[in-house]
């Protein structure tokens, strides 16, 4: 096996900036896997409509959430096979994490480098 599940999820937690608190990454991996396998389901549609009934201002956010689910489904649904399904999902999640968090990590690194430079000058 090329990659160990734990190694992949640890890398994702580090990208997300929450390592060693793996439970946060596991929750996001669970959500991501559901999006990949099922996309936007009738249950999500129902709960979104119910939420918008109570909070009409949330309609745009619910539409964006639906689009995000579908984007993930459309991009990665093909990776789900019965051979190494969990590893395939984890690799797709790692790619998703890079897309979502690489710019954030680079930004934080730049801020840290600037801070260290200022400290050295003082």
Q: What is the pLDDT of residues 26-38, one digit of tens each?
A: 999 999 999 999 9
pLDDT in tens, 72-121: 999 999 887 777 788 999 999 999 999 988 877 777 777 777 888 877 88
112 cis-preceded (ω within 30 degrees of 0): no
Q: What's the pTM value of the predicted model, to 2 decimals? A: 0.79
Indicate the pLDDT class of residue 2, thresholds 50, 70 and 90.
Answer: low
Give the contacts of 69 (CB within 8 A, at least 6 positions apart): 35, 39, 40, 44
Predicted local confidence at residue 65, as pLDDT: 95
pLDDT at 1 over 70: no
High-pLDDT (> 70) share of the chain, %:
96
Cα separation of 120 and 122, whole Å? 6
Length of the chain: 122
Instruction: List C-alpha distances in Å: 11 to 46, 84, 88, 101, 112.
Output: 34, 19, 15, 12, 20
Cα separation of 29 and 22, whole Å? 10
């Amino acid at each position: 096996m090329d990659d160990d599940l734990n190694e992949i999820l640890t890398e994702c937690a580090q990208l997300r900036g929450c390592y060693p608190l793996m439970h946060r990454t596991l929750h996001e991996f669970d959500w991501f896997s559901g999006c990949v396998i099922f996309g936007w389901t009738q249950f999500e549609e129902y709960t979104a409509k119910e939420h918008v009934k109570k909070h009409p201002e949330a309609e745009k956010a619910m539409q964006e959430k639906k689009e995000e689910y579908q984007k993930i489904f459309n991009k990665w649904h093909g990776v789900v096979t019965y051979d190494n399904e969990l590893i395939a999902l984890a690799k797709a999640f790692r790619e998703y994490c890079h897309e979502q968090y690489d710019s954030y990590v680079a930004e934080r690194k730049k801020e840290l480098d600037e801070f260290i430079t200022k400290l050295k000058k003082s």
